[in-house]
Amino acid sequence: MVKKLSIILILLSMALAMIGCNAAQAANAEKTPQERWGIDEFIIVLLPGEDTPEITYTRDLFGAALSEVLGIPVREYRGTNYAACIEAMRTGYAHVANLGPFSYVYAVERAGAECFAVSALDGAHGYYSHMITHVDSDIYTLDDLVGRTFGFVDPASTSGYLVPSNDLLNHFADSKPELEFEDLTINGRLFDSVMFTGTHSNSAQGVFRKDIEAAAVTSATVDAEIRNGHVDEGSIRTIHISPLIPTSPFSIQKDLPQDLKDLVIDFFLTWDDQEFWDIRGSTPEHRYWPVEDHEYDYIRQLRDRFDLTD
């Protein structure tokens, strides 16, 4: 009798739980997406840079499709600088951010960022930092950079600052053992004058116009500037290529409702619109692939080496 009563109580508890679950699902279904997730629109912030009409079109195409899935407007915009992108995520103004590897590492700690996707070919993702100069210059090696004018991109740029700084310090470790990380951005220490240009495009164009003698940029910059008509083909010479850098990730704010996060992540990882990838100059195998936080430990090691934790 006791055993039968126990079974009845268990079944009753299960039935009540199912009723409660169904009631919660029904109540949730009656809410609008805005009420369900507590936001009126979904905002994606992108790293600083220039947009061509084609890129703007693909952004609108992507945003419209994601909006249809989420049931709320989706807006994408470019941040004015790397710090602004991190701050937008920290304050809840941006829900997804496309961050450079270095700025992503900052955003994990400062803004609750969680990486989930990168643009990659067959799952292989990575890029390089190039140090470039004009073909008319007499700069051919890193040694030739001493006493020249140089452009970094941004203090939170991976390929435009952190990685090339590491490469420079490694290169000059024997000939200039007194050289420190901070010296690279102080006029007269290694370079005659040095500046932050704000974007990779600005750096490439500055070298092309001979406003600066050399600069550090991401590996795809010069080709993009040539396609956009801002730099003449054959006018830029690469004098140094870095080790492989993990690809810039898309990150989502960790405090968002889990069902919203799941929808967004699934959308990115299954996005295979052929028009989108054709305009982006990519093959069918080039799409968004999953990425994990540990893949950015190399960047953390560089950050810690130079004590860039503030």
* Domain count for the chain: 2
pLDDT at 47: 85
Nearest alpha-carbon partner for 48 in 121, 107, 100, 104: 100
63 is in which domain, residue-wise?
Answer: 33-126+248-305
pLDDT value for 284? 55
Question: What local confidence, expressed as pLDDT, does residue 51 receive?
Answer: 81
- Is residue 11 predicted with pLDDT exceeding 60? no
Final residue in a domain of this structure, among 201, 224, 241 = 241
Same domain, 230 and 279: no
Same domain? For 187 and 57 the reply is no
Q: Which of 21-25, 78-82, 207-211, 269-273 is predicted with the least confidence, judged by mean pLDDT?
A: 21-25
Q: What is the pLDDT of residues 17-47, one digit of tens each?
A: 555 545 444 445 578 998 999 999 999 999 8
Between the alpha carbon of residue 177 and those of residues 131, 170, 235, 280, the distances in Å are 21, 10, 34, 44
pLDDT at 27: 46
Residues 6 or more apart whose CB falls under 8 angstroms from that of 103 comprise 47, 82, 85, 86, 156, 157, 158
Average pLDDT of the chain?
A: 89
Output the six-digit token pair for 216.
């550090």
- Same structural domain for residues 122 and 259? yes
Lowest mean pLDDT among 53-57, 60-64, 204-208, 248-252: 53-57
120/145 same-domain check: no
Long-range interactions of 221-224: CB distance < 8 A, separation 24+: 221/130, 222/130, 222/132
Residues 204 and 261 grouped into a single domain: no
